[in-house]
Amino acid sequence: MNGLPVDAIGLILGVPAVTAALLVVLPGYRLSARLNVLSALLTLAAALSLLGEKPAPTPYILVDDLNIVFVVLNTFVGFTTSAFSASYIAHEIETGRLTPLHLRFYHAMYQVLLFAMNLALIANNIGLMWVAIEMATLTTVLMVGIYRTHEAIEAAWKYFMLGSVGIALALFGTILVYMAARPVVGEGFDGMVWTSLMAKVAAFDPALLNVAFVFLLLGYGTKVGLAPLHAWLPDAHAEGPTPISAVLSGLLLNVALYAVLRFKLLLAGNPGALAPGPLLVTMGLTSVIFAGFMLYRRRDIKRMFAYSSIEHMGIIAFAFGIGGPLANFAGLLHMTMHSLTKSAIFFAVGHIAQAKGSQKIADIRGLTVTHPLLGWGLVLGVVAIAGMPPMGIFMSEFLVVSSTFAREPLLALPLVLGLLVAFGALMLRLHGLAFGEPSGNNARVEASYLPLAAHLALVFTAGIYLPPPLVEWFQHVARMLG
């Protein structure tokens, strides 16, 4: 392992780790915010360099076409969110909601979160991946409660308790995978290395693998936010800083989904193991329908979009559960489009809540009149997340529905029902938010529009044209996933 890719791995992990240590002691807001953005940019550049050449796997690090998709998306949204965070957190400092001590903690934890997610994605060891996801979970728990209000502390504790249950189930599943591998791979480290497991999984005890996957799906499914394991997600979105809402919806849910996909590949390599597809389809479809109806009951704008995240993670899980080249391609595309779109929506919602001084939907009306750029940005984001053409999510949802009709026609009906229910709820809410009679506070905020515009531009472009290299890449990964 010599040359640029090794350096890239070192930067992907080392830059956020070193930056976190520096941000703990830096006192000034402007310097720490700029360092946070610069660090995220360097990490993104290192991730992009992996597109040219991949390092050979080691017992600790694995880089392949599957996790590069997640790493590049993770570092890109991490960078744009850090840029949004700079203006958002400046307002929180000015209004006194965050103190300088909170500021140092926030920026340091942001980099720790990026480090943990990147480590989880490139780990070639199922134990190391579990540790990294647990680190990311604990970091976001601390950040959700940063405002120290009663509601924020309650949301953080709820996230901690449910997340701990989920991660404990995932740990037990991980141990069962090791137990299944031990008679074949032998005692020791190799029993937890992905590449060793994949090479010899056909000889593993299928009964142990089946039980392990159930625990892993429940454990990591809690992190994905799939119903009925979703209860922590709306509170965490509503009470934490909005940049963390963007990272939760756009990134952390994907990291947990990546873990599920890795174990899905493991089961696919054993002819006696159960087919994981029906379990993913069931949880995915349940999430889509449940979240679609729950959207009508939300009174808090951030909670509403939290339930939208549950819906879309359900669509993604459903697509990977259906399987096949087309459905897997649609799942990858939908995951990418959802990350870009939902984080863009939270970019707009964060500044809107600051301008209005409230997250209650009843207090937010007529945004296109009072705050045109934020209002129309929200309109475009909601149009995109609702699956309207020509946005990229329309294309991915169309492919999901098409592949379902081709492979399991009866499942297409409840899927389309769930999509239509969610569409109706979002359009109903959007009308008042954007075009109703202006109400509430109309304070001006210093917003950063570039991250919002960049994400929406990418989502719009993807709905019209996907570059052939990107299509070939996703098609290759789709074939890997089976």
Q: What is the pLDDT of residues 227-273, one digit of tens each?
A: 888 889 899 988 889 999 999 888 889 999 999 999 999 999 999 98
CB 183 within 8 A of CB 201: no
CB atoms within 10 A of CB 227: 23
For residue 167 the two structure tokens come to 């991660």
CB 197 within 8 A of CB 126: yes
User: pLDDT tens across 358-398, in order?
Assistant: 889 888 888 888 889 999 999 999 999 999 999 999 999 99
313/311 Cα distance (integer angstroms): 6
CB atoms within 10 A of CB 21: 12
239/93 Cα distance (integer angstroms): 17
* pLDDT of 1 higher than 50: no
Q: Which residue reads 């080249």 in tokens?
A: 325
Q: Could you tell me which residue, 96 or 16, shows the higher pLDDT?
A: 16
Q: Could you tell me which residue, 79 or 248, shows the higher pLDDT?
A: 79
Report helix, strand or coil for 33: helix
* pLDDT of 54 higher than 90: no
Judged by average pLDDT, the poorest of 28-32, 117-121, 458-462 is 28-32
User: For residue 114, which of 23, 222, 1 has the smallest C-alpha distance?
Assistant: 23
CB 385 within 8 A of CB 348: no
* Rounded average pLDDT over 336-346: 95
User: For residue 159, which of 135, 142, 173, 172 has the smallest C-alpha distance?
Assistant: 142
Every domain of the chain and the residues it spans: 275-482
User: pLDDT tens across 91-139, in order?
Assistant: 888 777 888 788 888 999 999 999 999 999 999 999 999 999 999 999 9
245/251 Cα distance (integer angstroms): 10
**Cα four-point dihedral sign 340, 345, 348, 349:** negative
Averaged pLDDT score across all residues of the chain: 91
389/366 Cα distance (integer angstroms): 24
Q: How far is CA 26 from CA 23, 29, 36, 43, 329, in A?
A: 5, 8, 11, 20, 44
Apex 306 CA angle, 303 and 309, nearest 5: 160
For residue 257 the two structure tokens come to 């989904």
* pLDDT of 190 higher than 90: no
CB 330 within 8 A of CB 403: yes
Q: What's the distance, Cα to Cα, between the start and end of the chain in Å?
A: 29
